[in-house]
């Protein structure tokens, strides 16, 4: 009989080939071969009958053969219409067709021996012989057709990535036949690519089916989603009907799963009694095989379809989460929390899909199993049921505790990921201050709290595992003891049917706690996602007045408008009594730090809550041109950042570059405007970022521009250029609102607004308003604007690129490289790393307890078999005649009776033959002792494994964290934060939860299979002959699967990181996205990234089902073989029913074990990719050279006592071929000296600080501090003796105290004193004092206030050397003047190096260092340098004065 189709190729659209003669012959032969078996049934009915077999078996065999050949014909027809039509098709298919030939030949020989051709000729046998010859001829014709030459085999056509639907050629599943869907033959090209090692990129994977494409899912979901709706209702409306329909498939598959134990009972009864005809035994064997196959197909399809629905829901949830992120109002969650919703909560929510049907399916399975147990052992089953029910309340308590602990753990995880996000954003400042250890300890503290909750969850899970794993054994003991004590006789039929049924209990009893836990976790995550979706939206229709401004010439009008950062007005408020801005005006906005300038612009763009009043904007649909105070730059090329999705216009583009003073710098960069900048523009200086952001806004060609201090980070030359060419040039025809502290550039503005404490206090012409805010006369200010602090520092750009091959910008300007992906099998050292992370002692103890657990379990079952064999021997020796069978005996046991009868079959026997109480007590005592030992080993294994998993979770987080914190800044420049966060969120979550769970299953399956093979080999030695071929097939199948699935898992992780990065990027740049109308484009990009990830997810899930169906069919073949061998042994009188029952009851679980072993191994290997990725960060991240601690005892702890600085021939070069950033820089700063540092573009000013703090190592030369070579010092030792006030203020979530003094070195009195000197006391009191929360990145403070807080940090230090890098760029002039006085007083005796932004910060310096092209060109006092006519310093002064005097009169 030919087997069913094994595999064939997927379809290609519109691909039909003409049939060649070979295919025609094969099709005709297979069709005839499907007809002949049915014709062969006719002679069976003719008298006197037609041997060789019983009529029932003949009919069954004929029908199955006809169905098989008909299926084969369909397979051939499908192959003809595929690319295989050009060749012979799969060889395995042809081989399957020739398998019946030996049986046909043997049958023909049998007819010859019986004399069928000799007289008297009977019509029945003769007709059958003729049909037999025709079948042989048809098989021969089939062989000739296969041998006919086919065309050359063509490779599967490759496809362009993400082409339009009309161009798609290889789409997973769509258009496939039902047979291909059942066998997953459409996966053949993907598997081939996997085996060849060609699965390297997402485009190597077949396309998603139409119903899984994100665009389709978004449309389907949006049809049921409206704002404020419940997420679960929308998901149910979109996918619920299909999902609920799958419940029917599950029910049928569950029912069919019981055919195994029922037919096992009948077969063991047949072997035990030996009174039924052989045909019954054959029917039982065939029933076992066919039931297993059908159940396998149905349950496999159920699992596959559920996973598809899960992926549909995943696509919809991730799409709606991103869309909500684009629509968020001012109340936004921290980025870390949003990333957790995307990565962790969405996955937990979707666990519901697998858990819901199990929640009703498992109790149903439990009820049927208990009913069948009742049929076997009568009321004795109640003892086991009572025991199981007693554990229900215990399980409920455990599940509740797990849910509560899970909620708390997710809260700690959010806090940890949030802190990691901030740590990555501020890594430069952290390294400057030497806070790696302090912030690393904070991360570890959150991790400790997270692990504390995880520890509770793991040990409660261990209790669940113990209770439900030990329960089946205990149930068996209780049932058998109760049954015997009730006076019944145990038989092999009852015991092994009961054992098989109790094994069926393992699934519902073991899985039910996980199902409930999954449902509870889904509920927790659903609530978290729902809270996010319920956050108020950005709603311009409600925010802005529907009527335009009162006058046509008015662009903006605000009246009695009150705004706040929170919906009820607790936080900072901004009140505008009346403001009217005419078209084409240049409006300046001035005021002290924190007065509400940026808040006013945010209010105009709708980024605040409007509490009252009204806002009217003309031409609102056109959007705004927005340049924020903290420039938002994407990780892309400079050109892409400027174009921002708009079509390239060469004329406009060149005009914008010129207006924003970018041409000179682009000519220096490696690839011009194609140079890729790092995430958030980390490879650029503050001035670069500000001007690229300004260029992006200008290129959008809006009519209304909001410019938030774009001049703060640039020097006088560049500020003049931006004012002349951009603000008063290219943008002269537009309406502009300009916030700035540089009031000298507002003298020609049309109107100036004065803000104070969140109120617009005055509005008028510049001559009226500016004197109120200027600290010194205008002429003096003009002289002061001399230094280039923020011009496009191309040298600084280069400083922040990396030297290593991973991140080095190549000739094309690419900085951020594709994320590395290991290939091939997970290396052994990764498993070794996990072993070491667990601890060798714990790992060995866990394995020993696991082996002991399996040994005691097998021992208990073997003891039962031995006991039954002894009982049967004793009973046979004591019988004098056939004993009357009880109503519960095998003679009365039938399948219809079991399924339909509800009466009690079990009438107590008058006495149990040879079942004396002493024997029973002995056997039961031994059985109970072995089972008790098994229970203890199970408990030990659960506890030890939980302890080991927790230890591994600690180690695998701390090691990469430590390595990450000691990585050089160049690593962070070239590595997107989403890539790092993916490891510290998703990969850490895998190590915490998924990996231990799967590894536990893998180990249990491994020892379970080992025990099963030992039992099968000892019970039926003939079965060992099947092991070599089965092992070979098993090895080939799992090998194909593993290599492909492993790469798919890696690609899944690889495609998940861009989703994280894209969401984080979107949240950071939300105001710019909305103002420029780019939200739709960003949503499309999210769909594209999601489609790539969904491809990997879908292919992985299909691969799992591909493997499952094959392993299940192998298991069914083994069960059939065992039953067949037992039948043969029975006919020979060799079968021991007790041993056969034991073997068969074990064999029924072989399918699950085989499938579970390879799937758990593959999934464990896939989860080990997370360990591999964390280990990569534990060992492969480059490290900063640490140096050695000072050993000179006389220098003591404070080795830096004077504060002198000396650079000796310092050379800094980033890569061969690039000019030196510092070229033999030599100078000396005496202790206590104040040195100002100035220079033009690319002069290398910031490079000095980078080298001084050893954030970059010089190529040659050395730096001496108090005569000590810094390269010989430990980094922590060096940086602890230096202080810096960085250009960009860095604050992290937490209290004011934690931000001022992360290491906890100072008392509160000192903190308040520092705050008072920085004029922040009132601000800090308003936010809640030292324990007040600053919010993510210090969002509760303005940018200027954040800079002041960073200055307060420096005031707390007792370092001898202070470096100031444009520290007061965002501070008004009056505050700046006060701060300069504070710095002079507090650092009077200390060495101060200042990269200046305003003249008054360096004119009072002792000396000024002027750099040009990385060389020192001038070094003298400011007064001396100003007197030199050719001095570069003097040229800067003159340039500044010209800029201040030559302002045009305005538009």
Map residue 280 onto helix, strand or coil.
Answer: helix
Q: What is the pTM of this model?
A: 0.63
Does the pLDDT of residue 756 top 50, yes or no? yes
Q: What's the average model confidence in pLDDT over 984-994?
A: 84
Q: What are phi and psi of 618, to 5 degrees?
A: -80, 135
Distances from the Cα of 424 to the Cαs of 404, 984, 1063, 1299, in angstroms? Answer: 31, 12, 16, 16
Q: What is the pLDDT of residues 38-66, one digit of tens each?
A: 777 776 655 555 555 566 667 777 777 88
1416: β partners? 1411
Out of 419-428, 845-854, 972-981, the most confident range is: 845-854
Confidence of residue 898 (pLDDT cuts 50, 70, 90): very low
DSSP string, 41-65: THHHHSTT---SS-HHHHHHHHHHH
Q: How far, in Å, CA of 588 to CA of 723, rounded?
A: 13
Question: Which among 787, 862, 1122 is positioned nearest to 1014, based on CA atoms?
Answer: 862
Q: What is the CA radius of gyration of the chain?
A: 40
Q: What are phi and psi of 11, to 5 degrees?
A: -80, 160
- Across all residues in the chain, what is the average pLDDT? 76
- Contacts of residue 681, defined as CB under 8 A and 6 or more positions apart, other chains included, come to 631, 633, 688, 689, 692
Does the pLDDT of residue 160 top 80, yes or no? no
- Contacts of residue 1237, defined as CB under 8 A and 6 or more positions apart, other chains included, come to 1245, 1248, 1393, 1394, 1395, 1396, 1408, 1409, 1411
CB atoms closer than 10 angstroms to residue 811: 9
Q: What's the average model confidence in pLDDT over 1424-1441?
A: 73
Confidence of residue 23 (pLDDT cuts 50, 70, 90): confident
Pure H helices in 1195-1336: 1245-1252, 1275-1279, 1296-1300, 1308-1317, 1321-1326
Terminal alpha carbon distance of the chain: 93
What's the confidence (pLDDT) of residue 695?
A: 93
Q: How far, in Å, CA of 1289 to CA of 902, rounded?
A: 79
Distances from the Cα of 757 to the Cαs of 561, 570, 760, 951, 1043, in angstroms? Answer: 15, 15, 9, 53, 64
Q: What's the average model confidence in pLDDT over 1106-1111?
A: 84
Q: How do beta strands 609-617 and 554-564 pair?
A: antiparallel
Q: What is the pLDDT of residues 759-802, one digit of tens each?
A: 888 888 888 888 887 644 333 333 333 333 333 333 333 333 33
Map residue 1001 onto helix, strand or coil.
Answer: helix
In terms of Cβ atoms closer than 10 Å to its own Cβ (0-12, 13-18, 19+), residue 830 is: buried
Q: How do beta strands 1268-1269 and 1260-1265 pair?
A: antiparallel
What's the confidence (pLDDT) of residue 911?
A: 30
3-state SS, 220-249, equals HHHCCCCCCCCHHHHHHHHHHHHHHHHHHH
Q: What is the pLDDT of residues 855-874, one digit of tens each?
A: 888 888 788 777 767 766 66
What's the confidence (pLDDT) of residue 871?
A: 67
Distances from the Cα of 713 to the Cαs of 629, 716, 1371, in angstroms? Answer: 10, 10, 11
3-state SS, 93-118, equals HHHHHHCCHHHHHHHHHHHHHHCCCC
What's the confidence (pLDDT) of residue 879?
A: 47
Confidence of residue 159 (pLDDT cuts 50, 70, 90): very low
557: β partners? 580, 616
What's the confidence (pLDDT) of residue 699?
A: 92
Do 438 and 401 form a contact (C-beta atoms < 8 A)? no
Question: Which among 651, 819, 1415 is positioned nearest to 1176, based on CA atoms?
Answer: 819
Q: What are phi and psi of 1358, to 5 degrees?
A: -110, 25
Please indicate whether residue 502 or residue 190 has the higher confidence score (pLDDT). 190
What's the confidence (pLDDT) of residue 768?
A: 86
Task: Write out the E strands in 373-532.
Answer: none
Task: Write out the E strands in 524-572.
Answer: 554-564
Q: What is the pLDDT of residues 722-737, one digit of tens each?
A: 888 899 889 889 999 9
Does the pLDDT of residue 826 top 70, yes or no? no
User: Which of 384-398, 426-440, 894-908, 965-979 is least confident?
Assistant: 894-908
Distances from the Cα of 113 to the Cαs of 54, 592, 1111, 1208, in angstroms? Answer: 19, 114, 41, 108
Q: What's the average model confidence in pLDDT over 943-960?
A: 88
The angle subtended at Cα 1381 by Cα 1378 and Cα 1387, nearest 5°, is 135
Helix or strand run (H / E) with residue 762: strand 759-764
User: Which of 176-180, 439-443, 1229-1233 is least confident?
Assistant: 176-180
Q: How far, in Å, CA of 778 to CA of 744, rounded?
A: 7
CB atoms closer than 10 angstroms to residue 1179: 12
Q: How far, in Å, CA of 1410 to CA of 1389, rounded?
A: 23
Q: How far, in Å, CA of 807 to CA of 814, rounded?
A: 8
Q: What are phi and psi of 637, to 5 degrees?
A: -75, 165
What's the confidence (pLDDT) of residue 1423?
A: 83
Q: How far, in Å, CA of 878 to CA of 261, rounded?
A: 31
Do 320 and 296 form a contact (C-beta atoms < 8 A)? no
Please indicate whether residue 175 or residue 906 has the higher confidence score (pLDDT). 175
Distances from the Cα of 1387 to the Cαs of 1277, 1360, 1365, in angstroms? Answer: 21, 9, 15
Does the pLDDT of residue 1059 top 70, yes or no? yes
Q: What phi-psi label fits residue 1364: left (phi over 0), alpha (psi between -120 and 50 degrees) or beta?
A: beta
Do 209 and 172 form a contact (C-beta atoms < 8 A)? yes
Q: How far, in Å, CA of 501 to CA of 1155, rounded?
A: 20
Q: How far, in Å, CA of 583 to CA of 1420, rounded?
A: 50
Does the pLDDT of residue 1330 top 80, yes or no? yes
What's the confidence (pLDDT) of residue 912?
A: 33
Q: What is the pLDDT of residues 447-496, one digit of tens each?
A: 899 889 888 988 888 887 787 767 777 777 788 888 888 878 777 667 76
Map residue 1261 onto helix, strand or coil.
Answer: strand
Do 1160 and 322 form a contact (C-beta atoms < 8 A)? no
Task: Write out the E strands in 875-936.
Answer: none
Do 1433 and 710 form a contact (C-beta atoms < 8 A)? no
What's the confidence (pLDDT) of residue 825?
A: 59
Q: What's the average model confidence in pLDDT over 549-577?
A: 83
Map residue 1365 onto helix, strand or coil.
Answer: strand
What's the confidence (pLDDT) of residue 244?
A: 85
- Contacts of residue 1028, defined as CB under 8 A and 6 or more positions apart, other chains included, come to none
Specify the DSSP class assigned to residue 728: I
Do 209 and 171 form a contact (C-beta atoms < 8 A)? yes
Confidence of residue 827 (pLDDT cuts 50, 70, 90): confident
Please report, to the nearest 10 degrees, the dihedral formed by the alpha carbons of residues 891, 895, 900, 905 taken in order: 30
CA 1119 to chain CA mean position, Å? 40
Confidence of residue 656 (pLDDT cuts 50, 70, 90): very high
- Contacts of residue 372, defined as CB under 8 A and 6 or more positions apart, other chains included, come to 258, 261, 262, 497, 501, 898
Out of 1210-1214, 1367-1371, 1443-1447, the most confident range is: 1210-1214
- Contacts of residue 791, defined as CB under 8 A and 6 or more positions apart, other chains included, come to 661, 687, 714, 715, 717, 718, 1240, 1241
558: β partners? 579, 615
Q: What is the pLDDT of residues 1299-1317, one digit of tens each?
A: 888 877 888 888 888 888 8
H helix count then E strand count, the chain: 51, 19
């Amino acid at each position: 009989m030919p087997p069913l189709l094994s595999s064939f190729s997927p379809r290609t659209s519109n691909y039909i080939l003409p049939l060649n003669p070979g295919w025609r012959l094969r099709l005709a032969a297979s069709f005839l071969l499907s007809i002949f078996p049915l014709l062969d049934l006719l002679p069976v009915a003719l008298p006197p009958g037609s041997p060789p077999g019983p009529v029932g078996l003949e009919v069954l065999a004929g029908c199955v053969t006809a169905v098989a050949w008909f299926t084969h014909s369909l397979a051939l027809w499908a192959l003809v219409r595929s690319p295989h039509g050009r060749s012979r098709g799969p060889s395995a298919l042809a081989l399957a067709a020739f398998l019946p030939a030996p049986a046909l030949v043997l049958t023909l020989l049998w007819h010859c021996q019986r004399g069928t051709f000799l007289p008297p000729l009977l019509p029945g046998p003769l007709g059958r012989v003729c049909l037999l010859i025709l079948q042989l001829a048809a098989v021969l014709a089939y062989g000739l057709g296969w041998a006919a030459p086919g065309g050359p085999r063509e490779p599967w056509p490759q496809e362009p990535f993400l082409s339009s639907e009309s161009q798609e050629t290889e789409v997973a599943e769509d258009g496939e036949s039902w047979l291909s869907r059942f066998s997953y033959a459409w996966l053949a090209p993907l598997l081939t690519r996997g085996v060849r090692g060609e699965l390297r990129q997402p485009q190597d994977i077949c396309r998603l089916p139409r119903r899984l494409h994100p665009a389709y899912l978004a449309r389907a979901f949006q049809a049921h989603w409206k704002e404020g709706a419940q997420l679960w209702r929308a998901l149910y409306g979109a996918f619920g009907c299909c999902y609920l329909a799958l419940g029917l498939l599950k029910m049928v598959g569950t029912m069919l799963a019981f055919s195994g134990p029922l037919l096992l009972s009948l077969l063991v009864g047949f072997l035990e009694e030996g009174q039924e005809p052989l045909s019954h035994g054959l029917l039982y064997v065939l029933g076992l095989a066919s039931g297993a196959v059908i159940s396998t197909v149905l349950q496999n399809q159920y699992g596959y379809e559920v996973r598809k629905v899960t992926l549909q829901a995943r696509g919809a949830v991730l799409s709606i989460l991103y869309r909500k992120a684009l629509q968020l109002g001012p109340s936004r969650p921290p980025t870390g929390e949003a990333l957790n919703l995307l990565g962790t909560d969405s996955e937990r929510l979707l666990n519901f899909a697998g858990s819901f049907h199990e929640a009703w399916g498992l109790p149903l399975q439990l009820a049927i199993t208990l009913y069948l147990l009742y049929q076997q052992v009568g009321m004795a089953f109640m003892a086991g049921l009572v025991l199981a029910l007693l554990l229900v309340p215990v399980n409920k308590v455990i599940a509740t505790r797990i849910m509560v602990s899970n909620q708390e753990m997710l809260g700690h995880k959010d806090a940890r990921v949030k802190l990691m996000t901030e740590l990555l954003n501020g890594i430069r400042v952290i390294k400057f201050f030497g806070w790696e250890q302090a912030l690393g300890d904070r991360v570890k503290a959150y991790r400790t709290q997270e692990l504390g909750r995880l520890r509770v969850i793991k040990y409660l899970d261990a209790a669940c595992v113990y209770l439900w794993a030990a329960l089946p054994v205990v149930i068996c003991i209780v049932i058998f003891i109760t049954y015997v004590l009730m006076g019944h006789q145990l038989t092999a039929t009852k015991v092994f049917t009961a054992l098989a049924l109790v094994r069926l209990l393992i699934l519902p009893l073991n899985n039910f706690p996980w199902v409930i836990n999954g449902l509870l976790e889904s509920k927790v995550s659903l609530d978290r996602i729902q809270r996010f979706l319920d956050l108020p939206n950005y709603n311009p229709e409600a925010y802005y007045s529907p009527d335009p401004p009162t006058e046509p010439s008015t662009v903006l009008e605000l009246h009695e408008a009150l705004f706040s950062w929170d919906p009820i007005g607790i936080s900072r408020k901004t009140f505008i009594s009346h403001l009217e801005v005419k078209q084409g005006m240049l409006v300046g906005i001035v005021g002290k730090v924190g007065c509400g300038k940026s808040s006013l612009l945010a209010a105009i763009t709708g980024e605040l809550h409007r509490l009252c009043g009204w806002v009217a904007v003309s031409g609102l649909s056109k959007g705004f041109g927005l340049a924020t105070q903290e420039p938002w730059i994407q990780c892309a090329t400079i050109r892409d950042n400027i174009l921002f999705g708009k079509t390239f216009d060469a004329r406009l583009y060149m005009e914008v570059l010129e207006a924003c003073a970018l041409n000179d710098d682009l000519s220096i960069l490696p690839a011009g405007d194609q140079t890729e900048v790092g995430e958030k523009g980390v490879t650029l200086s503050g001035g670069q970022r500000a001007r690229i952001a300004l260029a992006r806004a200008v290129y959008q060609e809006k009519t209304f521009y909001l410019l938030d201090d774009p001049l703060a980070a640039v020097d006088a030359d560049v500020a003049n250029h931006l004012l002349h060419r951009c603000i008063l040039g290219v943008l002269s025809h537009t309406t502009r609102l300009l916030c700035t502290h540089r009031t000298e550039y507002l003298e020609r503005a049309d109107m100036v607004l004065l803000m104070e404490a969140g109120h617009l206090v005055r509005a008028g012409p510049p001559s009226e308003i500016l004197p109120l805010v200027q600290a010194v006369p205008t002429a003096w200010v003009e002289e002061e604007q001399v230094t280039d602090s923020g011009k496009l520092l191309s040298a600084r750009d280069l400083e922040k690129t990396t030297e290593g091959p991973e991140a080095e910008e190549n000739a094309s300007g690419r900085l951020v490289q594709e994320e590395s992906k290991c290939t091939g099998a997970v290396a052994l050292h990764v498993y070794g790393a996990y072993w070491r992370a667990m601890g060798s002692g714990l790992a060995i103890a866990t394995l020993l307890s696991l082996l002991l657990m399996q040994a005691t379990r097998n021992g208990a079952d073997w003891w039962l078999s031995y006991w039954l064999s002894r009982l049967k021997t004793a009973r046979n020796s004591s019988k004098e005649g056939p004993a009357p069978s009880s109503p519960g005996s095998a003679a009365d046991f039938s399948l219809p009776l079991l399924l339909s009868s509800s009466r009690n079959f079990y009438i107590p026997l008058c006495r149990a033959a040879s079942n004396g109480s002493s024997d029973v007590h002995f056997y039961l005592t031994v059985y109970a002792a072995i089972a008790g030992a098994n229970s203890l080993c199970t408990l030990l294994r659960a506890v030890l494994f939980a302890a080991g998993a927790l230890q591994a979770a600690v180690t695998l987080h701390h090691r990469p964290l430590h390595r990450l914190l000691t990585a050089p800044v160049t690593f962070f420049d070239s590595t997107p934060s989403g890539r790092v966060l993916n490891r510290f969120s998703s990969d850490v979550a895998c190590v915490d939860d998924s990996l231990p769970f799967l590894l536990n299953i893998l180990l249990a399956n491994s020892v379970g299979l080992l025990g099963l093979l030992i039992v099968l080999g000892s019970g039926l030695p003939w079965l060992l002959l099947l092991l070599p071929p089965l092992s070979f097939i098993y090895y080939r199948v799992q090998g194909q699967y593993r290599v492909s699935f492993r790469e798919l898992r890696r690609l899944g992780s690889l495609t998940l990181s861009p989703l994280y990065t894209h969401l984080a990027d979107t949240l950071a740049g939300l105001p710019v996205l909305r103002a420029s109308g780019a939200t739709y484009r960003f949503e499309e990009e999210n769909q594209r990234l999601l489609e790539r990830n969904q491809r990997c997810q879908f292919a992985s899930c299909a691969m799992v089902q591909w493997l499952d169906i094959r392993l299940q069919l192998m298991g069914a073949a083994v069960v059939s073989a065992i039953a067949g061998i037992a039948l043969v042994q029975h006919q020979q009188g060799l079968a021991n029913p007790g041993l056969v029952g034991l073997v068969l009851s074990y064999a029924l679980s072989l399918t699950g074990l085989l499938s579970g072993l390879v799937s758990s191994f593959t999934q464990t290997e896939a989860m080990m990719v997370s360990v591999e990725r964390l280990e990569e960060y534990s060992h492969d991240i480059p490290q900063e050279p640490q140096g050695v601690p000072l050993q000179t005892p006389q220098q003591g702890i404070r080795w830096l006592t004077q504060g002198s600085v000396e650079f000796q021939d310092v050379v800094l070069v980033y890569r061969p071929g690039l000019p030196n950033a510092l070229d033999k820089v030599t100078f000396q700063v005496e202790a206590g000296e104040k040195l100002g540092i100035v220079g033009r573009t690319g002069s290398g000013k910031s490079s000095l600080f980078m080298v001084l703090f050893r954030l970059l190592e010089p190529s040659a030369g050395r730096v001496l501090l108090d005569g000590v070579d810094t390269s010989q010092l430990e980094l922590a030792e060096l940086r602890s003796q230096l202080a810096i006030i960085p250009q960009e203020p860095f604050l992290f979530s937490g209290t004011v105290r934690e931000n001022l003094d992360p290491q906890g070195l100072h008392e509160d009195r000192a903190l308040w004193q520092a705050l008072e000197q920085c004029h922040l006391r009132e601000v800090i009191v308003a936010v809640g004092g030292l324990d007040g929360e600053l919010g993510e990145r210090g969002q509760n403070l303005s940018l200027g206030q954040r800079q002041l807080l960073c200055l307060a940090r420096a005031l707390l230090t007792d370092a001898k050397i202070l470096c100031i890098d444009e520290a007061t760029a965002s501070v008004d002039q009056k505050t700046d003047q006060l701060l300069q006085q504070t710095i002079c007083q507090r650092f009077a005796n200390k060495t101060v190096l200042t990269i200046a932004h305003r003249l008054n910060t360096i004119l009072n310096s002792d000396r000024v260092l002027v750099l040009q092209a990385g060389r020192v060109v001038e070094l003298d006092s400011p007064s001396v340098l100003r007197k030199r006519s050719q001095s570069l310093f003097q040229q800067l002064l003159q340039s500044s004065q010209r800029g201040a005097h030559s302002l045009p009169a305005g538009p």
